[in-house]
Structure 1
Amino acid sequence: MKILHTADIHLREYEDNRWRALQRLIEIGKQEKVEIFVISGDLFDKGINAETLRPKIREIFSNNGFKIILIPGNHDSKSYKIGMYFGEDTIIITNLDEPFEYKDLMIWGLPFEPIKGEEILKKLRLLANNSATDKRNILLYHGEFLDAFFSRKDFGEEGEGRYMPVKPSYFKDLNIDYVLAGHFHSKFDMWKLENGGYFVYPGSPISITRRETGQRKVNLFEVGKPPKEYLLDTPHFEDVVIEFDPFMLENPVEIVKEHIEKVHSEANIILTIRGYINSEEAKKGETEVVKQIREITQGKSVVEEHYEFKDIHTILEDDLFKSFKEKLEQSDYDEEKKKQLRDMAIKAMMKASS
C-alpha cells in the first residue's frame, strides 16, 4: 500500500502556484496508484481561504481513487467545523480519540492546539492505551519536533513562539509505525524513533517564503518500508551563488551562464555573485559584466540580484602583489590554501588603498 504525504501548502487563491502544486500532488497520487494522500496540516493559509476555496476543493478532492486524510494546522485550525464537506474522498481528523480505520491501518490525528509539555503527553498516553495491536498505527501530527537541528526560519514565518512541541522520548513507548508530520517547511527530513517507527517531515511542496530554497519534495512510501523522498516539479526558490576568481581564464559572464543553464525550469533564482574580476584580462569592467549577466538571465525568473564582486586589476598589477603571488606559487601549500592567502592579501591591499 502506497501513501503520499505532504503538509504546509498554505492555499490562498484558486489557480495560483500553490493551487497548481496541490493539483500536481493529486496527479502524482493517481500516477503512483497511492491509496492514501495525507496532508499533515496547513492546507490553507487562513480560515478565510478555506471558506473561499472549499467549493473548488470539493471538486479536486473527489473521485480520485484514493482517500485524502488531513488534520488542521496552526494556520487553518478553525477551518474544519463539524459537518463541513470537503469532497467525496476526504476524511478530516480533528480529535485524537476518533481515528480513521482503513484496511490494516489505524490512522490517528494530533492536530495543532496551543498546548505543550504535560498536555501533549496526556494526549499521547491516550494513544498508548488505545492503539491497535493487530494493525499498523500511523499518527498525523502538526507541530515542532524538538532535539532536532532547526532554526526558527525552517518553520516559515511563525515568529519565536513554540507550536505544540514534542520530543523523541514522547514516542518511546508508543506502538506507532509512522509519525507523518507537518509545520517544518524547509526540507524533507526523517528520524528513526526509539520504538522502531519513523518521524518524517516532508517539507512544503512549494516554496512559501524565500527562505525555503531548493527543489521541493514529498514523502511517497510503501507501508512497511522507510519513508522516501520524491522530487517535485513545482515552483521554488533557488540560491545561485557564484564566486569569480580573477586568476581563472574563463569569461566571468560565461561562468554565470553555465550556472543559470543548470537551474530547474520552475526555480525563482536568488542570484549572488561574489569574488573578483580582472577587467584588463576580461576586457570588461563591473558595469559591463552586470549588463551582460542581465542579458543572459532574460527569460529566467531572477527575483533577487546581489552583485558583490569587485574589479581589482590595479591590485593585480601592483609590484608588491606580484612579488607575493610569485612566492606563493612556489610554496608547498595546496590550491585551497593558496586561494585563501591570495584573498587575504587582496583584501588587505584594498583596505590599505581605500
Structure 2
Amino acid sequence: MTTLVHTADVHLRPDAQERLDALEAVLEAAADLGADVLTIGGDLFDRPADVETLRGDLRNRCFTDLPFEVVLVPGNHDVDAFRGDLFFGDACTVVADEDHFGTWVAPDGDLRVVCIPYCETAGDELLLALADREPFDGTDVLLFHGSLDAPIGADAGEEDTYRYFPVTEALLVELGFDHYLAGHYHGPHLLQFEGGAEFAYPGTPASTRSSETGRRRVVRLETGEGLAFEPLESFHYLEKRVTVTPGREDAVLEELREWVETAVTPTAHPSIVVDGVVDRAETEFAEELVGIADPDWITNETVSVEHVTAHPVIQEFEARLGETDWDDETKEAVWTRTLRAAGRVGSSRGLE
C-alpha cells in the first residue's frame, strides 16, 4: 500500500520564517504518516526572486535525505522560479516543462501521480494528451495548480478576481482520474465528484493572512482509501467571536475558557472578540476576561446593561414590549435580541 501526503501554497519568502517552519512541519507529518511521496501543488515560493535566497535551505535542510520523495509543480506565483536546471535536493523532483506533463509511479505500482506543469489555461493539446495517457491499473491521481469552478469557501490570497488555470468538475471527471490534488485556494476543501472521484485543496500550511483561520492541514491518500485531512503543528490564526447577554456572562466565560484550553496551541495566533451587554460592572467583566486569556488576544466590545437601558429609546421600547400580548418567552427573546443589538451599536459608536 502506498501513502501520499499533499500540500500546496506554502508561499515561502525570506521575511516569513513561519512558512519555512510550516514546510518543515509538513515534512515531519509526512514522515510520521509513513508517506512514500509528498506532493506540492504549486506556489512553494511567494515570488520567483525568493528562490535564490531560499534554495540553499530547501536543498540542505528540507529536500535531502528524506524517507519519501517530493514531487512538486509550479503555481502562478512561482512558475518563473523554476526556469532552468535548478537542483532543490536529492529527494525533490520538479515537473516544470510546460510542454509536457510528468508522472510519478509508486515502487509498488499501485499509485500514479500525473503532474501538470503550471499554465494559465488548459489548452486542447494538454487535455488531449491527458485523455490519451497510458492506461494504469492502480490509483490514478492528477496534480495541478488552478481554480476549480465550484462553490468553495476559501480565497486564493490576493488573486480572487483572476482565475488561474480554470477547470470545471465536468472537465476533470471526463479525464477519468480517481483523485485530484490541487493548489491555489488557501482554505482546505474536499469535494466528491460525480462517479466517486475526489478533489482536494489542502490550504496553506501556515496562514498567510488573518482571514486564513483555523489549524492548518495536509491531505493524506492511501491506496484503496479516500482522501483525508491531517492536522499540522504550524502557524495559524484563530478567531473566536461571542456575544454576551445579561445572565449569560458566566456561560460565555466558561465557553471561552474551554476554547482556550482545547483550541489554542503553541503555534496559534488567537483573537477573541466579545461584544454584547453584561449585567455586571464593565471593569469586573474585563478582569474576568483577562483571567481567561492573554490580554493581547482580546477585543472587548461589551457594555453594561445600565448603559444600554438608560437610553430613552431603549426604555420606550421596553415599555411598548411590555404592552404587547406576546407570551413571556417571546418577550424575553425579543428583549435579549434588542439588548444584543443595542450593545453592539453602543460598543462600536455609542448610543446617542
Please tell me the TM-score bracket, short chain as reference: 0.7 to 0.9
Partner of 1:114: 120
CA contact (8 A) 1:14 1:53 kept: no
Q: Secondary structure at the match of 1:99?
A: strand
Partner of 1:297: 293
Distance change (3 Å), C-alpha of 1:120 and 1:148? farther
Amino acid at match of 2:84: I
For 2:339 and 2:29, the matched residues in 1 are separated by 54
Between 1:340-349 and 1:156-165, the stretch displaced more is 340-349
Partner of 2:193: 193
Partner of 2:55: 54
Cα offset for 1:136? 3.1
Partner of 2:82: 80
Q: Secondary structure at the match of 2:130?
A: helix
Which structure ranks higher in relative contact order (CA pairs < 8 Å, sequence separation ≥ 6)? 2
Cα offset for 1:321? 7.1
Residue 177 (structure 1) aligned with residue 170 (structure 2): no
Distance change (3 Å), C-alpha of 1:111 and 1:327? farther
For 1:326 and 1:143, the matched residues in 2 are separated by 58
For 1:346 and 1:174, the matched residues in 2 are separated by 52
CA contact (8 A) 1:268 1:301 kept: no
For 2:156 and 2:324, the matched residues in 1 are separated by 46
Amino acid at match of 1:310: V
The alignment's TM-score, normalised by the length of structure 1, stands at 0.83
Q: Secondary structure at the match of 1:308?
A: strand
Partner of 2:136: 133
CA contact (8 A) 2:277 2:340 kept: no
Cα offset for 1:257? 4.5
Residue 147 (structure 1) aligned with residue 147 (structure 2): no
For 1:33 and 1:42, the matched residues in 2 are separated by 24
CA contact (8 A) 1:273 1:308 kept: yes
Residue 99 (structure 1) aligned with residue 103 (structure 2): yes
For 1:15 and 1:147, the matched residues in 2 are separated by 31
Distance change (3 Å), C-alpha of 1:277 and 1:127? same
Amino acid at match of 2:210: R
Partner of 2:300: 307
Amino acid at match of 1:114: E
Between 1:83-92 and 1:341-350, the stretch displaced more is 341-350
The alignment's TM-score, normalised by the length of structure 2, stands at 0.84
CA contact (8 A) 1:94 1:109 kept: no
For 2:131 and 2:120, the matched residues in 1 are separated by 21
CA contact (8 A) 1:244 1:309 kept: yes
CA contact (8 A) 2:152 2:189 kept: no
Cα offset for 1:322? 7.0
Residue 18 (structure 1) aligned with residue 19 (structure 2): yes
Between 1:172-181 and 1:257-266, the stretch displaced more is 257-266
Task: Count how many residue pairs are aligned between Structure 1 and Structure 2.
Answer: 338
Q: Secondary structure at the match of 1:100?
A: strand
For 2:138 and 2:8, the matched residues in 1 are separated by 24
Cα offset for 1:219? 0.4
CA contact (8 A) 2:173 2:197 kept: no
Distance change (3 Å), C-alpha of 1:319 and 1:77? closer
- Pick one of 123, 127, 144 that aligns with 2:126: 123
Gaps of 5+ in 1: none
Partner of 1:277: 278
Q: What CA RMSD, in Å, does the superposition of the two structures yield over aligned residues?
A: 3.2
Gaps of 5+ in 2: none
Q: Percent identity?
A: 26
Partner of 2:210: 210
Cα offset for 1:76? 0.8
